[in-house]
């Protein structure tokens, strides 16, 4: 049987998957863009503020008119936010103005109401103000043509607020890749039904769908196949016809009734052993140009395969923050099988990284408790407490 290192297989997955994830731009409404990734540099279509406006409730005047105080000025108008207000005021006069209202030409500062007698027909100003004080100038936040945000940014509420402020209706974002998930195995049944002899509940469909969704992917179909090659082939071709890529689980190892390997090998798929535990049996194929990643069926193997082979490629292609691989000290000694790169399930604690379980690939509860994969190189058989080990943040 052919075999590969983890790094070699990761490279092959990347080579096959990346072109299928090439950025495609689509427009989405600002109201639906939270968490999406900006597909292009966006420049402002206008100055912000669009017009000079008051930072305070008070009186708009020429600074010149309040140079000597106290001074009493006639109030010629009142302008509230949303009003057009007078186009211009004369020297020696004042306009009552509310926060956010346009400052008329001829006025170049605002005297806050608390520095006046708040008069109606005329106002006595007690404090001088310099030109520009309490006025937000046109374009002082953003100039028309300024870069608002660079391509590749993951959009937060703050970004959306800025886009809304400049009147954006639709934002160019990267289309989320469309994936199909196919789980295989005659032993799988849906939740809510009683287990018959030899049957187990299908957990890989939800594990893969949720993992994809959490990494910027739309899951367009989730199917379950029996071990009948005809049935699998039918589901597979439906998936490759509608998705950018497909992930399957199960049916890849060396036993009999390995439906995924059986169907995809004649189509040029690679099936073999990757030097890791869990997740050793792997497959990789392309059907009508659509990448098909074939993970082993054990639930923990499936999830570890996703973390190691799919997630880094997906996040890079989506412009999302990369998977963090850190070196952290072990809380306790560990031993590891020689000749296999181990991905043990661990947790970060104040005492260091603790292991949640042994290498057994069926321990889904231990994986659920874990927050890191502990990556033990294949030539390492023992590590001491305090030794730094590479961990992948889940």
Tell which positions 59-118 bind its own copies, by CB under 8 A. Answer: 78-85, 98-102, 113
From the list 223, 361, 374, 392, which residue makes contact with its own copies (rule: CB under 8 A)? 361
Give residues 257-276 in contact with its own copies (rule: CB under 8 A): 257
| Binding status of residue 337 toward its own copies by CB under 8 A | no
The nearer residue to its own copies, 208 or 287, going by C-beta atoms, is: 208
Binding residue for its own copies, selected from 9, 36, 136, 340, defined by CB under 8 A: 136
- Extract the tokens encoding 339: 């000749």
List of long-range contacts for 89-93, beta carbons under 8 Å, 24+ apart = 89/60, 89/61, 89/62, 91/62, 91/64, 91/65, 92/62, 92/65, 93/61, 93/65
Indicate the residue among 99 and 354 with the shorter CB distance to its own copies. Answer: 99
Q: Which of 65, 93, 205, 282 binds its own copies (CB under 8 A)?
A: 205
Residues 311 and 341: beta-carbon distance below 8 Å: no
Q: CA–CA distance from 361 to each of 90, 157, 240, 247 (Å)?
A: 82, 40, 29, 19
C-beta of 178: minimal distance to its own copies in Å? Answer: 17
| Residue appearing with tokens 């691989």 | 325
Stretch that binds its own copies, among 6-14, 237-245, 293-301, 382-390 (CB under 8 A): 293-301
**Smallest distance, its own copies to C-beta of residue 157, A:** 4
Residue 365 sits in the site that holds its own copies (CB under 8 A): yes
Q: Which stretch binds its own copies (CB under 8 A): 68-76, 188-196, 321-329, 374-382?
A: 188-196
The answer to whether 211 contacts its own copies (rule: CB under 8 A) is yes
In whole angstroms, give the CA distance from residue 199 to residue 185: 10
Can you tell me whether residue 204 is helix, strand or coil? helix
Is the Cβ–Cβ distance between 218 and 179 less than 8 Å?
yes
* Binding-site member from 191, 266, 322, 350 for its own copies (CB under 8 A): 191
CB of 316 to its own copies, least distance (A): 19
Tell me the closest approach of the beta carbon of residue 258 to its own copies, in angstroms.
Answer: 8
Tell me if 199 contacts its own copies by CB under 8 A.
yes
Number of residues binding to its own copies, judged by CB under 8 A:
93
Residue 385 C-beta: closest distance to its own copies, Å: 26
Instruction: Work out whether 217 is an interface residue with its own copies (CB under 8 A).
Output: no
Site for its own copies contains 204 (CB under 8 A): yes
Q: Which residue, 6 or 79, is less far from its own copies as judged by CB? A: 79
Cα 284 to Cα 272: distance, rounded to the nearest angstrom:
9
Structure tokens at 322: 């990369």
- Binding residue for its own copies (CB under 8 A) from 366, 372, 374, 376? 366
48 contributes a contact to its own copies by CB under 8 A: yes
> Among residues 101, 105, 72, which one has the least CA distance to residue 84?
101
Per CB under 8 A, which region of 16-24, 60-68, 263-271, 294-302 contacts its own copies?
A: 294-302
Pick one of 4, 36, 129, 159: the residue that binds its own copies (CB under 8 A): 159
165 binds its own copies (CB under 8 A): yes
Dihedrals φ, ψ of 231, to 5°? -65, -45
Residues of 334-360 as b/e, b for ≥16 C-beta within 10 angstroms? bebeeebbbbbbbbbeeebbbbbbebe
What is the rounded distance in angstroms from the CA atom of residue 54 to the CA atom of residue 51?
A: 10
Determine contact, residues 382/338, Cβ cutoff 8 Å: no
Q: Applying CB under 8 A, does 37 fall inside the site for its own copies?
A: no
**Encoded tokens for 77:** 């108008």
Indicate the residue among 15 and 362 with the shorter CB distance to its own copies.
362
Residue 30 vs 151, nearer CB to its own copies:
30
Q: By CB under 8 A, tell whether 225 contacts its own copies.
A: no
Q: In the bound complex, what is the minimum distance in angstroms from residue 59's beta carbon to its own copies?
A: 11
Helix residue spans in the chain (DSSP H): 6-20, 157-165, 204-213, 229-242, 259-264, 299-305, 311-318, 364-369
Q: How far is the CB of 250 from its own copies (least distance, A)?
A: 8
Tokens 């993992």 -> residue: 211
What residues have CB less than 8 Å from 147, skipping those under 6 apart?
Answer: 41, 42, 43
Among 125, 363, 374, 389, binds its own copies (CB under 8 A): 363
């Amino acid at each position: 049987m052919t075999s590969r290192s983890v790094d070699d297989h990761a490279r092959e997955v990347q080579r096959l998957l990346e072109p299928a994830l090439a950025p495609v731009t689509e427009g989405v409404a600002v109201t639906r863009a939270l968490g999406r990734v900006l597909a292009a540099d966006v420049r402002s279509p206008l100055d912000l503020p669009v017009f000079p406006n008051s930072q305070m409730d008070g009186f708009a005047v020429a600074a010149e008119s309040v140079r000597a105080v106290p001074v009493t000025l006639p109030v010629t108008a009142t302008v509230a936010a949303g009003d057009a207000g007078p186009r211009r005021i004369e020297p020696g006069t004042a306009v009552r103005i509310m926060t956010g209202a346009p400052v008329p030409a001829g006025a170049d500062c605002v005297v806050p109401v608390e520095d006046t007698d708040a008069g109606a027909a005329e106002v006595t100003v007690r404090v001088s103000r310099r030109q520009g004080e309490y006025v937000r100038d046109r374009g002082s936040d953003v100039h028309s043509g300024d870069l608002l945000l660079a391509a590749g940014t993951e959009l937060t509420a703050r970004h959306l607020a800025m886009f809304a402020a400049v009147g954006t209706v639709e934002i160019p974002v990267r289309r989320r890749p469309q994936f199909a998930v196919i789980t295989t195995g005659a032993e799988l049944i849906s939740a809510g039904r009683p287990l018959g002899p030899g049957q187990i509940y299908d957990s890989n469909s939800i594990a893969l769908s949720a993992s994809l969704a959490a990494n910027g992917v739309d899951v367009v179909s989730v199917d379950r196949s029996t071990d009948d090659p005809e049935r699998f082939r039918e589901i597979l071709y439906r998936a490759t016809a509608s998705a950018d890529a497909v992930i399957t689980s199960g049916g890849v190892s060396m036993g009999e009734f390995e439906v995924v390997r059986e169907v995809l090998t004649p189509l040029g798929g690679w099936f073999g052993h990757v030097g890791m535990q869990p997740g050793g049996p792997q497959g990789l194929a392309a059907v009508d140009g659509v990448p098909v990643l074939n993970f082993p069926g054990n639930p923990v193997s499936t999830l570890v395969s996703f973390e190691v082979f799919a997630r880094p490629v997906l996040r890079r292609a989506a412009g999302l923050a990369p998977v963090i691989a850190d070196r952290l000290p072990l809380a306790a000694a560990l031993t590891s099988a020689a000749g296999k790169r181990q991905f043990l399930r661990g947790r970060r604690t104040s005492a260091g990284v603790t292991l949640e379980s042994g290498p057994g690939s069926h321990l889904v509860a231990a994986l659920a408790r874990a927050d890191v994969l502990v990556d033990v190189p294949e030539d390492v058989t023992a590590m001491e407490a305090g030794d730094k080990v590479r961990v992948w943040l889940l």
